[in-house]
Amino acid sequence: MIEPAPGNTSALARISGQPIAIGAVALVIVVLGIGSITLWRAYTGTAPETDRVVAVRQLQARTAQASEQLVEKTKGLEATQQESIDQLQVVQDQLLTVRRLLAAQQADTRKLSEQVGTLTESIDGLRQSFASAQAAEPAAPPSTRKRSVRKSSAAKPRASKSAKLKRGRSNG
């Protein structure tokens, strides 16, 4: 075996020979570390555990506030949506009313068109009967007969027109 030379003894060998001293130094270092941490916490007045608890509570408060805001916004959207639905129903009812009125007006227009057609046919019939009556009359003094015929024929169509209009209105 090779023996170490007496001049080559290292400091490590000297320290390893005294385990009690090493343990005591380590204990002192640990106690000093704990004491300095305790003093630092007492001096600053804060502890990481309480900071974490405060942060968690703040986060919970923010979450609750955000949740309440979402609930309020959702209720607002529901109210707006319901108002829109109500307005749409009113517009649909108005559209239905307009459609009914338009259908009634179209029916009235059809009736009036039929009545105008009937009146036109009646006027044409009166014109034809007047023309045939003029052709069938014997030749007489033109001034006397034309006036009387014109007056009597002009009075009849007006009377018949007004009578037909009254009948048409009473029917419609």
Q: Provide the residue ranges of all domains of the chain, joining segments of one domain with +.
A: 18-47
pLDDT value at residue 37: 87
CA pair distance 146, 151, nearest whole angstrom: 8
Using CB atoms within 10 A of its CB, is residue 69 exposed (0-12), middle (13-18) or buried (19+)?
exposed
pLDDT more than 90, % of the chain: 51
The overall average pLDDT reported for the chain is 80
Q: Three-state SS for 172?
A: coil
Q: H-helix or E-strand containing 104?
A: helix 48-136
Encoded tokens for 155: 């009075």
> Residue 50 pLDDT more than 90?
no
**Cβ–Cβ < 8 Å for 15, 9:** no
pLDDT at 44: 78
Query: Taking the model in full, what pTM does it have?
Result: 0.39
Mean pLDDT, residues 71-94: 96
> Nearest-CA neighbor of 158 among 118, 126, 111?
126
Report pLDDT for 36.
92
Q: What is the pLDDT of residues 143-172, one digit of tens each?
A: 555 555 454 444 444 555 555 555 555 555
- Say how many residues make up the chain: 172
* pLDDT, tens digit (0-9, with 9 covering 90-100), for 107-137: 999 999 999 999 999 999 999 998 888 888 7
Percentage of the chain lying above the pLDDT 70 cut: 68
